[in-house]
Structure 1
């Protein structure tokens, strides 16, 4: 309902006896706003609210403003001009609908959001002004302020209803993650946080600046009784916009606020999550408004909010909390080195000594956020190696699915439950049609153990062929399958019924890059093993192989290798087992499963690690024929395998992979990463080979590209230096000279760019 300028002039003359010389319409979020001059040249602001659901709240706003002016006339807010009846607002009607008109004083200044490189002096001034306002409002009450308000941070979890409006998968997941953290970190403490009537919207277009100081805070339309720290969080959010180091601005505001109106440690402990919550509120509201509004003011903060959210998730919450504490004179919350030493001492007493800890300077990781990890010293790391957290650390969809089911029921497969069948159908729908029977267990080791047990039962043979340097797990049987373990230090050696095939390594193996027949030649080695067994009157139970080799050196198999091997194995009556524990679920990008790269169909597929995003879940999927033979009268029962929580977790992971198009993400980011590593190989002689598929990548480091002498311990120094720069990677391969890069699937192009840039600098600094 648009108000004409002429009608507005008539209203102002009738109700205020104001004669107008000029009227200019100005933008607003909901109200119609006008800037006018009276005949004496005095500026005024007129606001017209339509379809007001609660006129008493308008009264509450105006009374709060009057209360502040009465308490402290220096507080920089507008004052309200009374109408001829002495009222703070005027009601008039158009077509039977009430509209509410207010006349306010004009404050000189520029909106903070329009100031390029806004100086910290302005931020400090806002901290002081906001604290003064809150201090004076401490004793203000009005019934209408005790209301539901959609912009009240105490109601932020309602934003979950609007997340679907955010079409970008990465952005939607990040907002959902922060809402989950609000639920986990803020809600339990809400009852301990001071409450008051607060302005609740000191955003960058509600703050006016003149001569380097705040000249006014406007718009009490979001005023509400809520947690006091929410007011601080809102202001902190907007002063951090458009800054390379946003935390510095928040600290400047916080320090000045605390000097006037002291905050409490408990309030500071949740401030990081409240700032994130305000960002979530902003971006979800903007996304929702896009479907029904063309008001540019509804989206004025959207770009800045997303930029800050990407910055915010890279700031360790503990680091932020520590800085907040220090700026207000409270003690540090960071972990201390002596605490770590004591923890390691106690660990040695109660935990097996051969359970290793990564990195020379050990990390104590205390929180994860999608592709990021945070330690107890306040540092943030991009996780470039943890393929177990397939869809990201603490992915909100997965976490909520687990929480919901765990709060309802967790039992075993001796009772009917829908999710067992639903998940089995989900898994088998991605596999070749003949692979349609599932067994669930708790780890890849257990799954490989079961797969071998099934193959031995089906074939009535015991001998198994593996690849040299392979690793298939930690159970007794899995250890027997793993040359990486049984040939290593402390290993028990090779069992007579386990046979090692050549590692089909095209870089340093018997057959190398450029040999188009390498796949068949490596496969012939398996055929020779089978012939040797046959000549000695022995058959083969199974051939088991990772579809891309992990511990063997991050090695994609040569073209045609598995097709030829499977042919040889099946001709001898053996079963073909694809170990997808490391590489399945879309990681290779081009396909959902690694074996699809080789255009083969296994008899048994083993799934683990990423299947539950870190939850202990694994599966063995086999053909109906093999499953029927295994059903010989002996029950297979696994106490935890197939439990409802695990099944709901697995379903959630599958849904996330599909809904967020993570296989495509792995393809695009992986291609970018591999191409970038190859460019680094042109610059740095220490990189001898770059290989991989999707987000399963290896870079082999050598001292000499002709002799292929492994670059050890150089690689260990590089890993440590990358850790110090905030990138967690590891080493792999028989010679421990391969950089292992297998990040969560949310790892993005920007992460890859940063990784490559830092690796380039580290390699240049090492003279490689």
Structure 2
């Protein structure tokens, strides 16, 4: 406990114990009471009073480290200890119930660096002073500095205990992501890194500046014996906080430090993650203080800046920062910009099927993922605008931890009992209409669609399937037979006799347009036509399968009333209605959790694909009890790893993230904001013929002429390549390959949206 000390009380204490006649002024402090004191001659000191929760041995360590530095080459840059009239460095103030400890130090002139505009000279002198100090402390030691404190960056993972205090899901996810990376990248090296007795808090309030160079360093209250590089990382963190170019500031500091006290390659390579670790400690501590109701402004003094820098840091490819630090220190580069991918492409061509295509004219080699960002091997960062299998974001920390932990315990087949299998099935069906109550788990959407057709044929005793023209349902043999996109395309085998194509309900360029209120029923009539033809042949449909928003067909939302009319006709003919939710399910459409809900229908079978596992090989078929019973005909259905414990843990984690982070509502709000921005661009650029979609399932169809609807090809390819050069990964879709498809990870935000729209506007204006 810390008593309340008044300025007058401090003046009396200093008169009694130090023989000084002074005036005192209280200053802000984190854990101690701090006072600026002056005498009539203008001499100034800093008086610090600690409560009984401060160990006397550690206060002694502060005294001894300052005495050590006062005798070194960097004397004058640090406060000096002033002893009391008994020649003691620490004055014990004894109260009835506890002891307090008073120390007096000389006052250092200068402005805290937070109050001035950062310059390269400041960052360089900051690094230089820190390096000189650490070099001077090579022969210093004190047992009290071997302690455990939350501000030790080596203990950054302890911040996970406070993550729950962060209320904003996006911020919590960001901090958790960087703590995961700290675990993966730093933890394996910690035991081998150099250790040192460090100041541990060379922040922008403790670094003083005079005449545009660093003049001093104060406040040794966070000292600890820890990894030496942590001291550099902390200084970098606060240099970067308000810098116009954060990486440039950090590089200037590191280069100057290295010049006087050389770092190792490993230390420089880890600085990116150590900086992030320090920021995570800061924001989680502030969140904990806020949750506890703290009204001490000092507890939140860097909170906004720390979040701003964390948000900036994730947009910087770690390789780019490693390269910059290595270059500053004269180490070998980690990036070879002169190297191309010729050897890798040759190996791929020799040993990988040649009909596996590569995106973009200049291929990308992606080496890391970070939520909505992707990092390549050249140090570039890309915003992923199209990778829907990474549903809740690349390397989402909750999902990654679930996979790691379950993989470390058990992964085996489903012939053994395991709680995760039924737990996930129960969680999954809770999101669906009550009639959909039986689950089958597979490893891919293709496999799931294959199984769904097989089940429909068992149930109906029919074989014929109705699909939409231009549809795509996967890569298995059965799924290919359901995919006009494949069997009618180059190298295709043509339409099988048991597959029947209905009109693609395209209200932009189809026969029935958006201005026709009956478009849904008119497109549905084409399904009636097929059913009637089958009936004339003495057959009925086994199934009607349709994506509830069309992907390869052109990012097309279905017309109002379309599925309601189609489902009624198919069911009346004895067929099964299959909703392919592989691309659009799990909240992506924003206004609903499932795409079929937008059409106010309930399918007989729902097919789910890789997004339910965030790209992990997990897929599912969910159906009615009646269809499941018909499928249970005596032949066992066994899928060796469909429903394995790791996949089920993954699925549970994805559902948890969607619900706890409010990602469906996020997709609705941000998706609508995105489409509004695209429609504004449409008003400005005639090449945008149509903007459509729901939530984070968006299409922008590009045309050369809005009357003839001539597709803007190859213009769209030029646009996609230009956007890639600007750091945005987009792709094309549609029968005419003229639709920009936008299906980003669900963590894509408004800042990403604004940036994309601004760059797209520039690209379109330049054409």
TM tier relative to shorter chain: over 0.9
Q: Return 589-598 or 121-130, whichever deviates more.
A: 121-130
CA distance in 1, matches of 2:7, 2:275: 40
Q: How does 1:154-303 map to 2 (within 5 A)?
A: 154-292=154-292, 293-303=294-304
CA distance in 1, matches of 2:434, 2:74: 78
Structure 1 unaligned segments of length 5 or more: list them. none
CA distance in 1, matches of 2:14, 2:74: 26
CA distance in 1, matches of 2:338, 2:645: 41
Deviation at 1:41, TM superposition (A): 2.2
The answer to whether structure 1 residue 695 and structure 2 residue 728 are counterparts is: no
Deviation string, structure 1 residues 692-729 (Cα, Å, up to 9, x no partner): 00000000001111111111110000000000000000
CA distance in 2, matches of 1:62, 1:545: 75
State the match for 1:608 in structure 2: 609
Deviation at 1:609, TM superposition (A): 2.1
Deviation at 1:151, TM superposition (A): 0.3
Deviation at 1:82, TM superposition (A): 1.0
State the match for 2:368 in structure 1: 367
Deviation string, structure 1 residues 373-394 (Cα, Å, up to 9, x no partner): 0000000000000000000000
State the match for 2:8 in structure 1: 6
State the match for 1:384 in structure 2: 385
State the match for 1:440 in structure 2: 441
Structure 2 unaligned segments of length 5 or more: list them. none
CA distance in 2, matches of 1:615, 1:19: 71
CA contact (8 A) 2:317 2:380 kept: yes
Q: Which runs of 4+ in 1 moved over 6 A?
A: none
CA distance in 2, matches of 1:337, 1:523: 56
CA distance in 2, matches of 1:338, 1:142: 50
Deviation at 1:53, TM superposition (A): 3.9
CA contact (8 A) 1:75 1:129 kept: no
Q: How does 1:5-154 map to 2 (within 5 A)?
A: 5-20=7-22, 22-115=23-116, 117-154=117-154
Deviation string, structure 1 residues 263-310 (Cα, Å, up to 9, x no partner): 110101111000111110110001111133211111110011111111
Deviation at 1:628, TM superposition (A): 0.9
State the match for 1:565 in structure 2: 566
Deviation at 1:485, TM superposition (A): 0.3
Deviation at 1:54, TM superposition (A): 1.5
CA distance in 1, matches of 2:268, 2:122: 22
Q: How does 1:700-719 map to 2 (within 5 A)?
A: 700-719=701-720
Deviation at 1:188, TM superposition (A): 0.7
State the match for 1:338 in structure 2: 339
CA distance in 2, matches of 1:365, 1:341: 16
SS of match in other structure, 2:527: helix
CA contact (8 A) 1:75 1:133 kept: no
Deviation at 1:72, TM superposition (A): 2.2
Deviation string, structure 1 residues 98-138 (Cα, Å, up to 9, x no partner): 100000000111111122x2222111111110000000011
SS of match in other structure, 1:257: helix
The answer to whether structure 1 residue 761 and structure 2 residue 762 are counterparts is: yes
State the match for 1:404 in structure 2: 405
CA contact (8 A) 1:441 1:618 kept: yes
CA distance in 1, matches of 2:24, 2:18: 16
CA distance in 1, matches of 2:106, 2:149: 26
Distance 1:73 1:399, change over 3 A: closer
State the match for 1:393 in structure 2: 394
State the match for 1:307 in structure 2: 308
Q: Return 11-20 or 404-413, whichever deviates more.
A: 11-20
State the match for 2:734 in structure 1: 733
Deviation string, structure 1 residues 32-79 (Cα, Å, up to 9, x no partner): 000011232211110000123421011111111111111225351100
Distance 1:611 1:246, change over 3 A: same
Deviation at 1:146, TM superposition (A): 0.9
Q: How does 1:392-541 map to 2 (within 5 A)?
A: 392-541=393-542
SS of match in other structure, 1:435: coil
SS of match in other structure, 2:339: helix
CA distance in 2, matches of 1:501, 1:65: 83
CA distance in 2, matches of 1:155, 1:483: 56
CA contact (8 A) 1:604 1:621 kept: yes
CA contact (8 A) 2:446 2:475 kept: yes
CA distance in 1, matches of 2:342, 2:29: 57
Q: TM-score, normalised by structure 2?
A: 0.99
CA distance in 2, matches of 1:277, 1:41: 42
SS of match in other structure, 1:196: strand
Deviation string, structure 1 residues 712-763 (Cα, Å, up to 9, x no partner): 1100000000000000000000000000000000000110010100000000
Deviation at 1:538, TM superposition (A): 1.2
Deviation string, structure 1 residues 179-222 (Cα, Å, up to 9, x no partner): 00000000111122111001000010111111111121001111
Distance 1:87 1:413, change over 3 A: same
